[in-house]
Amino acid sequence: KGWTGGPSLPEDLMLAGVKTCYDKGLQLLMHANGDAAVDFLLKAHVAAAGAEPSKDRRTVGIHSQFIRPDQLAKYKEYNIIPALFTLHTYFFYDVHAVQRGPEQAGFISPMRAAYDLGMRPTNHTDYAVTPIDQLFTIWSAVNRISRKGVPNGPDQRITPLEALKAITINAAWQYREEATKGSLEPGKLADLVILSGNPLTVNPMEIKDIKVVETIKEGRTIYPAQ
């Protein structure tokens, strides 16, 4: 009773590392999965940021899986990017609902809440924990249905367009690459895929079945091999 996970490194060492990154203008990406870990990320950020806690540093909270609404609001205040992981809603919700309860499990990777706060959340697969499949990632963010077919956190579903942005323009912005990547505009790299269906118009449950027909990198087809 009352047990929580602990840090993977001594706290003083991690605090010093965060301070070094901020002092040298280096981007910080911290893995923070449970809400206690998110609390530590916020604590470390405030300690290292000094008088400028809301400066645009593109600090990233990787996973932020069990983030609470009050913590998400702090992310917004401090310009911390939530890099979420909605495939958890498919692969692991059924277990989390038993271990953590359906209320907390239903708020895993709260993409809707992040967008509603005016944030730019991103989404990832954390391979090899889950497959590298971006259409499946989009599907999970749009539908939030578990392996057992249980809807979870339906209030946190997002639109297909928002889900696409989370893996394209938002991801480019997260890494300060928005001037060259993330959208199809003059002057940017011609990185794109041609799909077998339109994720914006197909039945949302069919998004995961869309296939990549062709991949173009900087204007050159790299898949299928030419």
3-state secondary structure of 197: coil
Residue keyed to tokens 């967008």: 115
- Phi, psi dihedral angles at 214 (to 5 degrees): -150, 145
pTM of whole model > 0.75? yes
CB neighbour list of residue 220: distance below 8 Å, 6 or more residues apart:
none
Q: How far is the CA of 210 from the CAs of 134, 138, 192, 204, 206, in angstroms?
A: 10, 11, 15, 11, 7
**pLDDT tens sequence across 69-90:** 999 999 999 999 999 999 999 9
pLDDT digits (tens, 9 = 90+) for 11-34: 999 999 999 999 999 999 999 999
**The two structure tokens encoding residue 190:** 């011609």
pLDDT at 1 (0 to 100): 80
Under-70 pLDDT residues of the chain:
none
Whole-angstrom distance, CA of residue 15 vs CA of residue 63: 19
